[in-house]
Amino acid sequence: MKISFAPQRPAGAYALAIPVWADDMLNDRLQSIAEPARSLVARAAEAQRFEREAGAVAETFIEDGDQVRRLLLVGLGSNRDEQAVFERAGGALTARLLTSGETRLVVDLTGLGLGDDAAARLAFGAAARAWRYDPYRTKLAKKQKPTLESVTLVGGGDGSEDSWGRRSALVDGLSFTRELVTEPANIIYPESFVERARARLEPLGCQIEVLDENQMAELKMGALIGVGQGSVRPPRLLAIRWNGGLAGAKPIVFVGKGITFDTGGISIKPAAGMESMKWDMGGAGAVAGTMVALASRKAKANVVGICVLAENMPDGNAQRPGDVVTSMSGQTIEVINTDAEGRLVLSDAMTWAQRQYRPDVLVDLATLTGAMIISLGHEYGGMFSNDDGLAGQLDSAGRATGDKLWRMPLGEPYDKLIESPIADMKNVGPREGGSITAAVFLQRFVEAGVKWAHLDIAGMVWSDKAAHLYDKGATGFGVALLDRFVADNFEH
């Protein structure tokens, strides 16, 4: 979608949107519309029970000169301090018009007294909500095809273009993540994920390093290799490096779980709904999209994104319940349940990342446990951390972007639940506290002095209902969160 900014409304055919705060006088906001069209708009809004809540839309058609124009009022709500209200309004407008037959939308912010950032936020909401992925839909009806091509923001301030630059990069990152998560597992598997990421990120200036199964064996990554050994698709570890900060400064490291399809292995999942396990690589997808966003806006920070990629399948060579594997760290793991594979691949990836880059800060993202969905539903990602300061920074970034996190506990009583009678640990604990025992498992692989956070985003990477920034399907959760986390805490 093309986004542009202008000082005044253009001529020609387009749909016109006027944002309205809850306490605005409607006549004041409609001053630019002549009677009797102004009264028609007010009556139409009342008939549609338009109460100006954030993201609500009232629509009518008016005579404007020699043409009929679609006019939309979009609510901004009553809380002028809410950071995400403009994204919500922009997304609501796109959702209403995307397949409406309109090709052009003009949003008139004149008279609201908003700064440059508000216009850019609204544009971001509009652009993010426009994302669709239709390459496999060969028989779309005409009314199902997107028509909206451009959005012009009027009266947003002279600096709107500059403010939009960063958010445009974020849209690129979100789009890449959603693409990866949406693709079926016969298209995106470890090797093809690597190649798609390479094609997208190397032109942006990122350095790419890839470990194959032979290199993993040399590094004694027994936990990662064990997960992938049941598939004809060999595992890969992809490291994406962006050097935008001070030369020689330690990078921030993000590690994403990338199980490109998860049958559960020998501990096989039920058939119903298994097709959704193509998005079990949502953590790796978010890391790859974050790197696109950071590199696209030339972030002034050193960041490494690691995507640990494998397919969990149940063939004759697959890992069995009861097997013991030795991780790269040297710690041994009794595999009680082969469907608890994410923590296994992450353990080796985290060890490699810490030894390779010596980071002070390590954040992992993973669609790790169904137990997290039971705990938090689809409203928050779970956050576990060994450092209060890091947890606070991530929480703040989540609240600012709408990628909300809720901190969960860690501690020795939970750690004891994964003790094994024959190995250093087992890969699952009891039914209760399942997300927490997964987190304390990962904590055993965090080296001394490293500030670490684990984000369990199992309930957040895919949605069965539309929201203001996405339609049903891949959400892109985590990209805006990590981009803001880097911007607020590591760029100067």
Buried b (16+ CB within 10 A) or exposed e, 32-61: ebeeebbebbbebbeeeebebebbbbbbbe
Q: Is residue 257 annotated as part of the catalytic site, yes or no? A: no
- Hey, what amino acid is at 177? T
- Please give the Cα distance from 238 to 261 (Å, whole number): 17
Using DSSP, state whether 122 is helix, strand or coil.
Answer: helix
Q: How far apart are CA 22 and CA 80, in angstroms?
A: 10
Catalytic site residue from 52, 70, 167, 343: 343
What is the rounded distance in angstroms from the CA atom of residue 372 to the CA atom of residue 375? 5
Give CA–CA dist 197/289, Å, rounded: 9
Catalytic residue among 69, 132, 196, 269: 269
Label residue 465 exposed, middle or buried (CB < 10 Å: 0-12, 13-18, 19+): exposed
Whether residue 72 contacts residue 93, with contact meaning beta carbons closer than 8 Å, is answered with yes
Question: Buried b vs exposed e over 261-287: b needs ≥16 C-beta within 10 Å?
Answer: bbbbbbbebeeeeeeebbbbbbbbbbb
Q: Which two tokens stand for residue 303?
A: 């960041």
Examine the residue annotation and report whether 343 is marked as an active-site residue of this protein: yes
Beta pairing, strands 57-64 & 67-75: antiparallel
Catalytic residues: 269, 343
